[in-house]
C-alpha cells in the first residue's frame, strides 16, 4: 500500500523526494554486503551482526546492542522490554511510536499510550510530561516509560532539551527510550558526539535505513539486561533472522562512511527552502529547516496537480493536501535541488 496522495508514475524516477528511506545502496555498500562474513544469528553466530551491535552500542555509549529489521520493530522490542501489561507509555502526540506504528505496544503488549502535546520544535514541555504521569491509584495504568524522538519532523532536539524531558520522567520513576530514527542528523547538526546526545536516556533505537542509506535494519541499544529482554521479544515478533551479516555489513559501512555526509543533505534542504521561498504561491520558512526536511505550504487544491506534474517528469513528492514534505538524502545532488526548484518555480509562474 502507498501512502494516500502519493503520485505514482511509469516514468523512470529521476528524483525521489518522498523520504530518506528511498536510497539505493551505493556500490561500496553493496561490495561490503557481498563480502560479509555470515553465520546463523539466531545462534548468535553471525560475526558481522555481532560487530555491528558492538559498534552501535559503543557509538551511542550504551552497554549492548541488538540488530533488528526495522525502526518499528526496534521501538516495539524496546517498549515491550521496558513495560508489562497494564503499564503506560508517555509519548509525544506527533511522534512515530504514537502515530505510525500500528499501536504495536497496545496491540501486542497490553500497554497504554498516553500522548503528550508536542510543540512546534518537536519537544514536549516538562510540565506537560509531569501532568500526564498517573498517580499511584488503582484506577490508573502504571506510568512506566517516557518515549522521546530525535529528530522530530526534521527538528533537532538538543542535549539540553532531551535531558530536561528525561529528567522529569526519571523524577517520576519512568525509564526513558529515544526513537533516534534520524539521530545522526541531529548529531551532525549539533556537532556533538552521539553518546553525549543520548547520555540522558536509557535506551535508543537508531535506524540505518533512513539518512544512513542501508536497505534495511535498525539497532536498539541499552543496558545488557534490557537487551536480553528485547532479544526475546525480537524472537516473539518473528524477528530472529539467520545469515543477516549481509545486512549488518551495510550498517557497519553506513556508520563508517555515511554519518558526516548528512551535512550535505542539510545543506541541500536549506538551499531548496531558500530557492522555493522566492516562489510566491509557496509558503516555506528556510529558518525552520534544521536538517534534511523541508515542509512547503501550498494554495488550496494545488497539491495533487503539482505532484502529478512533477511525477510526469520523474520527480516524486510525498502526500498531503495543504503541506508537502520534501526530504533530501544520499541520492539527491545539488543539481537535483536546482532542477527541482526550477520545475516548481515554472509550475507556479
Question: Rule CB under 6 A: which of 12-71 touch ligand PLP?
Answer: 70-71
Closest approach of Cβ 258 to ligand PLP, in Å?
Answer: 16
- Provide long-range contacts, Cβ within 8 A and 24+ apart, for 23-29: 23/213, 23/329, 23/330, 23/331, 24/331, 25/213, 25/214, 25/215, 25/250, 26/213, 26/330, 28/253, 28/257, 29/213, 29/214, 29/250, 29/253, 29/254
Given the complex with ligand PLP, which of 62 and 210 has the nearer CB atom?
A: 210
Report the residue from 16, 46, 88, 149 that binds ligand PLP according to the rule CB under 6 A: 149
Given the complex with ligand PLP, which of 203 and 341 has the nearer CB atom?
A: 203
Question: Rule CB under 6 A: which of 239-298 touch ligand PLP?
Answer: none
Task: List the helix and strand counts (H, then E) for the chain.
Answer: 14, 11
Residue appearing with cell numbers 517498549: 79
Given the complex with ligand PLP, which of 88 and 149 has the nearer CB atom?
A: 149
Q: Calculate helix-pair angle for 47-59, 245-257, nearest 10 degrees.
A: 30
Question: Rule CB under 6 A: which of 172-211 touch ligand PLP?
Answer: 179, 181, 207, 209
Given the complex with ligand PLP, which of 87 and 179 has the nearer CB atom?
A: 179
Give the span between the Cα atoms of 216 and 16, in whole angstroms: 18
Binding residues for ligand PLP, rule CB under 6 A, total 9
What region, left, alpha or beta, does residue 46 occupy, with left being phi > 0 and alpha being psi -120 to 50 degrees?
A: beta
Q: Does 215 bind ligand PLP (CB under 6 A)?
A: no
Give the span between the Cα atoms of 195 and 226, in whole angstroms: 18
Closest approach of Cβ 338 to ligand PLP, in Å?
Answer: 27
Report the residue from 96, 234, 253, 268 that binds ligand PLP according to the rule CB under 6 A: 96
Residues in Cβ contact with 228 at an 8 Å cutoff, skipping those fewer than 6 apart: none
The length of the chain, given as a count of residues: 349
Given the complex with ligand PLP, which of 64 and 97 has the nearer CB atom?
A: 97
Given the complex with ligand PLP, which of 133 and 166 has the nearer CB atom?
A: 166
Closest approach of Cβ 218 to ligand PLP, in Å?
Answer: 6
**Residue number with the smallest Cβ distance to ligand PLP:** 71
Given the complex with ligand PLP, which of 106 and 130 has the nearer CB atom?
A: 106
E strand or H helix that includes residue 267: helix 262-276
Contact 106, 86 (CB under 8 A): no
Closest approach of Cβ 66 to ligand PLP, in Å?
Answer: 15
Footprint of ligand PLP on this chain (CB under 6 A)? 70-72, 96, 149, 179, 181, 207, 209
Amino acid at each position: 500500500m502507498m501512502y494516500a496522495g502519493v503520485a505514482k508514475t511509469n516514468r523512470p524516477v529521476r528524483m525521489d523526494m518522498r523520504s530518506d528511506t528511498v536510497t539505493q545502496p551505493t556500490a561500496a555498500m553493496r561490495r561490503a554486503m557481498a563480502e560479509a562474513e555470515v553465520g546463523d544469528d539466531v545462534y548468535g553466530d553471525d560475526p558481522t551482526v555481532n560487530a555491528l551491535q558492538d559498534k552501535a552500542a559503543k557509538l551511542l555509549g550504551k552497554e549492548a546492542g541488538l540488530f533488528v529489521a526495522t525502526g518499528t520493530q526496534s521501538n516495539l522490542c524496546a517498549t515491550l522490554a521496558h513495560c508489562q501489561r497494564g503499564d503506560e507509555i508517555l509519548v509525544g502526540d506527533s511522534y512515530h511510536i504514537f502515530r505510525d506504528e500500528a499501536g504495536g505496544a497496545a496491540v501486542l503488549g497490553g500497554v497504554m499510550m498516553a500522548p503528550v502535546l508536542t510543540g512546534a520544535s518537536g519537544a514536549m514541555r516538562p510540565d506537560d510530561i509531569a501532568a500526564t504521569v498517573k498517580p499511584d491509584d488503582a484506577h490508573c495504568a502504571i506510568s512506566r516509560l517516557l518515549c522521546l524522538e530525535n529528530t522530530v519532523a526534521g527538528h533537532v532536539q538538543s542535549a539540553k532539551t532531551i535531558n530536561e524531558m528525561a529528567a522529569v520522567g526519571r523524577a517520576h520513576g519512568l525509564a526513558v527510550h529515544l526513537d533516534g530514527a534520524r539521530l545522526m542528523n541531529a548529531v551532525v547538526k549539533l556537532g556533538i558526539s552521539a553518546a553525549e546526545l543520548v547520555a540522558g536516556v536509557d535506551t535508543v533505537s537508531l535506524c540505518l535505513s533512513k539518512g544512513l542509506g542501508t536497505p534495511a535494519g535498525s539497532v536498539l541499544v541499552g543496558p545488557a539486561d534490557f537487551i536480553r529482554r528485547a532479544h526475546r521479544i525480537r524472537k516473539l515478533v518473528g524477528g530472529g533472522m539467520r545469515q543477516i551479516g549481509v545486512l549488518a555489513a551495510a550498517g557497519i559501512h553506513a556508520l563508517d562512511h555515511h554519518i558526516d555526509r548528512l551535512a550535505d543533505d542539510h545543506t541541500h534542504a536549506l538551499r531548496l527552502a531558500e530557492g522555493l521561498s522566492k516562489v510566491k504561491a509557496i509558503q516555506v520558512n528556510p529558518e525552520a529547516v534544521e536538517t534534511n526536511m523541508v515542509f512547503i505550504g501550498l494554495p488550496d487544491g494545488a497539491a495533487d496537480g503539482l505532484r502529478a506534474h512533477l511525477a510526469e517528469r520523474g520527480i516524486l513528492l510525498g502526500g498531503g493536501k495543504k503541506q508537502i514534505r520534501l526530504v533530501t538524502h544520499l541520492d539527491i545532488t545539488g543539481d537535483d535541488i536546482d532542477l527541482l526548484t526550477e520545475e516548481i518555480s515554472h509550475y507556479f509562474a
